[in-house]
């Protein structure tokens, strides 16, 4: 399995191709169905991404079938099922890079900000479970600026939530902690811009 640094560079290069509309021939070929893919998989990166339909994970990294182990959930939150999925992929496949991928104008962040501002509190228990996981990351931001419609507040909330998810993964699983300590796993955050297609990686998580 390739190193975390090499995996990160592959993702950077793929996003550059996506933004430039220069999808590689190798990627196009790897998106075609072939029976050989059924026998095994060797994803070089694990991506915990938001479920937003405007963030097609493999496409924005210009990758094909079998390249990425993708977990998608509204707000790219970290719950036991997501941790277990990442533990599985890291141990089973030896994948050394995890990217928590948030994005601009995230609906889960906006919903949480509005909930905290008491603009909308009539939510199902299931949706409230997502909001409650985002809440600790964005609450301090509202303490400084209570305008939940301010674009700067929303962006700060998105980035705070990404970093909170990274922190949770780095410190919320004995398996992941051991892999990180041994130098066999790296977890970083990243923000996808729906407006431009660019992905900004947070170098230190």
pLDDT at 161 over 50: yes
Quick one: pLDDT at residue 53?
A: 96
Entry pTM: 0.90
Q: Is the dihedral of CA 125, 126, 127, 133 positive or negative?
A: positive
Q: How many domains does the chain have?
A: 1
Residue 121 lies in a domain: yes
Quick one: pLDDT at residue 33?
A: 55
pLDDT at 36 over 90: no
pLDDT at 34 over 60: no
CA torsion 159-161-76-169 (nearest 10°) is: 110
What is the pLDDT confidence band of residue 144, given thresholds at 50, 70 and 90?
confident
Residue 35 lies in a domain: no
Could you tell me which residue, 116 or 6, shows the higher pLDDT? 6
Element (H, E) at 187: strand 186-192
Mean pLDDT of 163-187: 97
Residue 55 lies in a domain: yes
Residue 142 lies in a domain: yes
How far is residue 49's CA from residue 57's CA, in Å, rounded to a whole number? 7
**Whats the size of the chain, residue-wise?**
205
How far is residue 58's CA from residue 35's CA, in Å, rounded to a whole number? 20
pLDDT at 37 over 70: no
Residue 162 lies in a domain: yes
Residue 54 lies in a domain: yes
How far is residue 60's CA from residue 111's CA, in Å, rounded to a whole number? 25
Contact status, residue 94 vs residue 3, Cβ threshold 8 Å = no
Quick one: pLDDT at residue 148?
A: 73
Could you tell me which residue, 173 or 131, shows the higher pLDDT? 173
Indicate left, alpha or beta for 55 from its phi (over 0: left) and psi (-120 to 50: alpha): beta
Could you tell me which residue, 34 or 125, shows the higher pLDDT? 125
Residue 81 lies in a domain: yes
Helices within 31-184 (DSSP H only): 57-60, 80-93, 107-116, 125-144, 151-171, 174-181
Quick one: pLDDT at residue 31?
A: 61
Quick one: pLDDT at residue 205?
A: 46
pLDDT at 32 over 80: no
Quick one: pLDDT at residue 38?
A: 61
pLDDT at 191 over 50: yes
What CATH number does the domain containing 45 carry? 3.40.1050.10
Indicate left, alpha or beta for 105 from its phi (over 0: left) and psi (-120 to 50: alpha): left
Residue 50 lies in a domain: yes
What is the pLDDT confidence band of residue 128, given thresholds at 50, 70 and 90?
confident
What tens digit of pLDDT does each residue of 68-81 get? 999 999 999 999 99
Contact status, residue 74 vs residue 139, Cβ threshold 8 Å = no
Containing structural domain, residue 112: 4-30+41-202
Neighbouring CB atoms inside 10 A of 96's CB total 22
What tens digit of pLDDT does each residue of 41-50 get? 899 999 999 9
């Amino acid at each position: 399995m390739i190193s975390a640094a090499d995996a990160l560079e592959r993702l950077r290069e793929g996003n550059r191709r996506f933004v430039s509309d220069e999808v590689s021939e190798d990627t196009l070929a790897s998106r075609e169905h072939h029976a050989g893919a059924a026998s095994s998989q060797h994803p070089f990166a694990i991506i915990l991404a938001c479920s937003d339909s405007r963030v097609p994970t493999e496409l924005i990294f210009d990758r094909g079938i079998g390249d990425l182990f993708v977990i998608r959930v509204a707000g790219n939150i970290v719950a036991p099922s997501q941790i277990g999925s990442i533990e599985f992929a890291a141990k089973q496949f030896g994948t050394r890079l995890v990217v928590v991928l948030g994005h601009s104008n995230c609906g889960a962040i906006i919903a949480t900000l509005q909930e905290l501002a008491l603009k909308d509190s009539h939510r199902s228990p299931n949706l409230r479970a997502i909001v409650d996981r985002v809440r600790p990351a964005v609450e301090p931001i509202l303490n400084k600026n209570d305008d939940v419609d301010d674009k700067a507040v929303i962006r700060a909330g998105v980035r705070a939530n990404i970093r909170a998810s990274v922190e949770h993964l780095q410190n919320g699983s004995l398996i992941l902690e051991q892999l990180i300590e041994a130098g066999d796993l790296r977890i970083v955050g990243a923000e996808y811009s729906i407006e431009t297609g660019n992905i900004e990686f947070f170098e230190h998580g």
